[in-house]
């Protein structure tokens, strides 16, 4: 069942206590798709400039489950570029620069043969753009969106409209608090459900995640990682693992418009957690590109032991 993600494909420049890289492949769409592809086939809709070269395409091609037919290369434009610096405490990140490039232009077009996509993830973007993209998938079963502080403060009406049209939202704890005015992650999640979605996933970085769903609450710690090279893309990878799991498990009987079940999402949290734990072990997509299904399953088994209650 086709999963689709819309968002950014970017050149990331990262300075961290563990090293630095210049203009490596990154972006919300890229991390999401690479992570999701371990669970289900995934289509991407994004635009890049004509500075996006063969080397970057070769990296994407290392994820055979990612369909890049919807990756639009726009002549005369430049690829979105982001530069960031992580502090000694790698939970603290500052943005050094953004070069919007194609992101300042019209959104990418969705190929006609992608319109049958059933599972839609709208990575962080202006909620008006997310709404336009959402409308392009009329037969979707489940739509989930990410957002960011900028849109919560500057585009609240559009974001509110988006929330009324989607099934779930994935956002970090500060964003959940900003959106609802509530500090407690569970209570904030419940307030978000009052805005429309069936579920909200609150990401807490190294402290794990919380799922607030109409039918229950789930929570997991992060995988207990010691080797953190670059946290960039962890949140998008988490969302990719979660949605990839949903796309792989969502069965025919759910297709009648029934909201996505608590159990399916709950089990997706662990997949998102584990795939994100690999993302942070390298810069860019390096670790994900070398990851095997065996590596993934072994760590998922290990994680079962980490959180076992008995």
Chain residues 212-241 in contact with its own copies, contact rule CB under 8 A = 216-222, 224-226, 228
- Closest by CA position to 144, among listed 43, 243, 7: 243
- Closest by CA position to 144, among listed 123, 128, 127: 123
18 lines the binding site for its own copies (CB under 8 A):
no
C-alpha to C-alpha distance for 302 and 148, rounded to whole angstroms: 32
Find all residues with CB under 8 Å of 94, minimum gap 6, and list them. 84, 85, 87
Q: Which is nearer to its own copies, 57 or 90 (CB)?
A: 90
Task: Evaluate whether 239 touches 37 at the Cβ level (below 8 Å).
Answer: no
Distance in Å, CB of 284 to its own copies, minimum: 22
- Figure out which of the listed residues 208, 259, 281, 289 binds its own copies, where binding follows CB under 8 A: 208
Chain residues 167-186 in contact with its own copies, contact rule CB under 8 A = 183-186
Pairing, β 42-49 against β 3-6: parallel
Q: Which is nearer to its own copies, 138 or 305 (CB)?
A: 305
Find all residues with CB under 8 Å of 54, minimum gap 6, and list them. none
C-alpha to C-alpha distance for 199 and 17, rounded to whole angstroms: 36
Distance in Å, CB of 89 to its own copies, minimum: 6
Q: Which is nearer to its own copies, 17 or 50 (CB)?
A: 17
Q: Tell me the backbone φ, ψ of residue 58, rounded to 5 degrees.
A: -65, -40
Chain residues 185-204 in contact with its own copies, contact rule CB under 8 A = 185-187, 204
Q: Which is nearer to its own copies, 23 or 204 (CB)?
A: 204
Residues in a beta bridge with 122? 6, 145
- Figure out which of the listed residues 69, 207, 290, 297 binds its own copies, where binding follows CB under 8 A: 207
C-alpha to C-alpha distance for 79 and 235, rounded to whole angstroms: 21
Q: Which is nearer to its own copies, 162 or 274 (CB)?
A: 274
Chain residues 37-56 in contact with its own copies, contact rule CB under 8 A = none
Task: Evaluate whether 211 touches 239 at the Cβ level (below 8 Å).
Answer: no
Site string for its own copies, 112-151 (x = CB under 8 A): ----------------------------------------
Q: Which is nearer to its own copies, 55 or 309 (CB)?
A: 309
Distance in Å, CB of 86 to its own copies, minimum: 12
Q: Which is nearer to its own copies, 66 or 234 (CB)?
A: 234
DSSP 283: S
Q: Which is nearer to its own copies, 35 or 280 (CB)?
A: 280
- If you compute the radius of gyration of the chain from its CA atoms, what whole number of angstroms results? 18
Q: For the chain, give me the number of helices (H) and strands (E)? A: 11, 14
Chain residues 251-310 in contact with its own copies, contact rule CB under 8 A = 263, 266-267, 270, 300, 303-310
8 exposure class (CB count in 10 Å sphere: 0-12, 13-18, 19+):
buried
Task: Map tokens 């407690």 to a residue.
Answer: 184
Chain residues 67-96 in contact with its own copies, contact rule CB under 8 A = 88-89
Distance in Å, CB of 92 to its own copies, minimum: 11
Distance in Å, CB of 159 to its own copies, minimum: 24
Distance in Å, CB of 310 to its own copies, minimum: 4
Binding residues for its own copies, per CB under 8 A?
A: 88-89, 183-187, 204, 207-208, 210, 216-222, 224-226, 228, 263, 266-267, 270, 300, 303-310
């Amino acid at each position: 069942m086709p999963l689709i993600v819309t968002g950014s494909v970017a050149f990331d420049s990262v300075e961290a206590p563990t090293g630095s890289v210049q203009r490596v492949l990154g972006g919300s769409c890229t991390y999401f798709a690479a992570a999701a592809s371990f669970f289900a086939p995934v289509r991407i809709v994004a635009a890049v400039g004509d500075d996006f070269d063969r080397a970057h395409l070769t990296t994407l091609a290392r994820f055979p489950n990612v369909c890049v037919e919807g990756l639009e290369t726009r002549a005369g434009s430049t690829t979105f570029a982001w530069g960031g610096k992580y502090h000694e405490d790698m939970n603290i990140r500052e943005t050094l620069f953004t070069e919007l490039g194609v992101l300042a232009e019209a959104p990418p077009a969705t190929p006609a043969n992608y319109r049958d996509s059933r599972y839609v993830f709208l990575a962080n973007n202006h909620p008006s753009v997310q709404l336009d993209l959402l409308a392009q998938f009329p037969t979707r079963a489940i739509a989930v969106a990410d957002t960011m502080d900028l849109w919560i403060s500057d585009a609240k009406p559009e974001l509110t409209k988006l929330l009324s049209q989607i099934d779930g939202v994935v956002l970090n704890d500060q964003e959940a608090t900003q959106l609802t005015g509530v500090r407690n992650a569970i209570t904030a999640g419940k307030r978000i459900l009052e805005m429309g979605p069936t579920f909200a996933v609150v990401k807490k970085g190294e402290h794990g995640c919380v799922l607030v769903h109409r039918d229950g609450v789930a929570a997991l710690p992060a995988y207990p990682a010691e080797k953190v090279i670059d946290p960039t893309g962890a949140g998008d990878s988490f969302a990719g693992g979660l949605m990839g799991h949903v796309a792989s498990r969502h069965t025919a009987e759910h297709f009648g418009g029934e909201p996505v079940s608590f159990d399916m999402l709950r089990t997706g949290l662990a997949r998102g957690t584990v795939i994100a734990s690999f993302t942070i072990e390298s810069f860019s997509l390096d670790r994900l590109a070398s990851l095997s299904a065996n590596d993934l399953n072994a760590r998922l088994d290990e994680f079962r032991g980490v959180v076992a209650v008995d």
